Amino acid sequence: MTVRHGDHSGLRGLRRDLEAMPERLSLGPSAVLHAIADHVVDDYLDVSDLFERDIDETEAAVFAPGSPISAEQMYLMKREVLELRRAIAPLSLPLRRLVDGDTGLVPAEVRSYFRDVDDHLTIVAERVTRADELLNSLMDATLAKISLQQNNDMRKITAWAAVIAVPTMAAGVYGMNFDLMPELRWTYGYPTALAVILLACLVVYRALKRNRWLGSGRTVIWVVLLVVAWLSLIVLQISLGAGRAPTGGGS
């Protein structure tokens, strides 16, 4: 009689195999106990193999550019490894006692079978320990990568805030509504002010990009082209308006 808790793989196939080997059954209940223990530990070996494959794939993904691996996924894997460790830990001492013959319930000819099961359990325990240590390292690497990405994002946000501060400052100066501003009465004062603001933004952007605070400049190039086209249209409209303006005169 066996007592099982939770989901299990079933022992019907194992029973058929034992019934097909009467010489093994002749060794008594200890032979049945060995068959069950061997079946359970072999299942743990298969699970540990799957863990090693998953961890290898996770390790490759963690250090790949644009990795989709998150800290939550790493934590779930650690929980699975912990559950496997809790499952195999209680088996070590009973198997060792059966191998050493401390109980007196196992014949000498069956002890060698239990020794093989104990060796397999040792392999599983070593794999679980190695997997746990590797997951700890991968967790640290994942958290470090997330922290580095957040730092890079904050640097980009700060850099763009510095670029935007230039036109904001200029708009604040011109928004004070003073009359004694020479460029306010100048025909090309508006496009000139926009050109100066654009040039100042480009200088700040170039300085930040040289220090690697900003990435690709394709977006900025398109913005510059649009602003230049806009300034050209403004200057053209002003020039055409000045050309059509009446010159005045009297008789």
Domain ranges of the chain: 12-153, 178-242
- With a CB cutoff of 8 Å and minimum separation 6, the contacts of 44 are 84, 87, 88, 120, 121, 124
User: Which pLDDT score, from 0 to 100, does residue 142 have?
Assistant: 83
What's the residue count for the chain? 251
Helices 29-62 + 71-88 axis angle, to 10? 160
Contacts of 132 (CB under 8 A, 6+ apart): 78, 81, 82, 85
- Categorize the per-residue pLDDT at 1 as very low, low, confident or very high, splitting at 50, 70 and 90: very low
pLDDT in tens, 191-202: 777 788 888 888
Mean pLDDT rounded to a whole number for the chain = 76
Backbone angles phi, psi at 99, to 5 degrees: -70, -40
Is the domain spanning 12-153 CATH 1.20.58.340? The answer is: yes
Instruction: Give the mean pLDDT of 19-39.
Output: 73
